């Protein structure tokens, strides 16, 4: 979500999460009771249009706007501090994979799609795109559903090896072939 927002909206999103957490602690409620996660994006997208923007968004309850609308507008209009800017920069660095790394992982996913096509199984059943995105974001994350059972049989031990060692992938290309290898020598 951060990538689709302008800088002021990104800072407001950070402030909104902090506000939600603090209010939940103060009231001894869950964060979802204070503000449902599904309502965060509509609030962030509407707050720039002011109180009317919040009121006219059908996903945001009238009660929320009456109670917290002014507070949301003030949080949005507050000037951006240098700690918030540095936090935004840290988040951007965490979100962005280097282009070559991203390409290698996408190539691995393409090979997984090909393997699923050969087995006549939808790739979303074997490795849903959301799970793959989690794998891209966290180098140590491997869905437990891939490690055993029918998914593991479809992918085979070579592909599972690639998935487990995806941080050590490199591409080798010549005039006659293109291969994806793990630094220990196994290749697709």
Q: Please state which CATH class domain 2-95 belongs to.
A: mainly alpha
pLDDT tops 90 at residue 188: no
The β-bridge partners of 180 are: 171
Count other C-beta atoms under 10 Å from residue 33's C-beta: 12
Q: What is the pLDDT of residue 93?
A: 65
Q: Please enumerate in sequence order all residues whose Cβ is within 8 A of that of 48, keeping only pairs 6 or more positions apart, or say none.
A: 8, 9, 76
Count other C-beta atoms under 10 Å from residue 73's C-beta: 17
Considering only residues 5 and 25, tell me which one the structure prediction assigns the higher pLDDT.
25
Q: Give residue-wise pLDDT tens across range 108-164.
A: 999 999 999 999 999 999 999 888 888 887 788 888 888 889 999 999 988 888 888
d(CA 69, CA 94): 31
Q: Give the CB-side neighbour count of residue 140, counting CA atoms within 13 A.
A: 0
What value, to the nearest 5°, has the Cα angle with vertex 154 and ends 148 and 155?
80
String of DSSP letters for 86-149: HHHHHHHHHHPPPHHHHHHHHHHHHHHHHHHHHHT--HHHHS-HHHHHHHHH-TT---HHHHSS
Query: Residue ranges of the domains in the chain?
Result: 2-95, 99-182
What average pLDDT does the chain have? Answer: 88
What confidence category does residue 54 fall into, taking pLDDT thresholds of 50, 70 and 90? very high
d(CA 55, CA 18): 23
């Amino acid at each position: 979500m951060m990538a689709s927002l302008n800088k002021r909206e990104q800072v407001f999103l950070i402030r909104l999460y902090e506000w939600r957490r603090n209010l939940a602690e103060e009231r001894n409620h869950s964060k979802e009771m204070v503000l449902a996660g599904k309502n965060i994006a509509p609030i962030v997208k509407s707050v720039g249009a002011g109180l009317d923007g919040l009121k006219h968004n059908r996903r945001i309850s009238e009660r929320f706007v009456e109670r917290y609308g002014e507070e949301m507008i003030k949080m949005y209009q507050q000037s951006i501090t240098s700690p918030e800017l540095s936090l935004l920069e840290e988040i951007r660095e965490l979100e962005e994979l280097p282009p070559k790394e991203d390409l290698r992982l996408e190539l691995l996913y393409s090979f997984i799609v090909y393997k699923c096509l050969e087995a006549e199984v939808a790739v979303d059943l074997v490795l849903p795109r959301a799970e793959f995105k989690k794998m891209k974001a966290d180098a140590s994350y491997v869905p437990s559903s891939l490690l055993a059972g029918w998914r593991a049989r479809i992918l085979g031990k070579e592909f599972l090896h690639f998935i487990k060692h995806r941080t050590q992938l490199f591409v080798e290309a010549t005039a006659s072939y293109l291969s994806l290898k793990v630094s220990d020598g196994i290749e697709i």
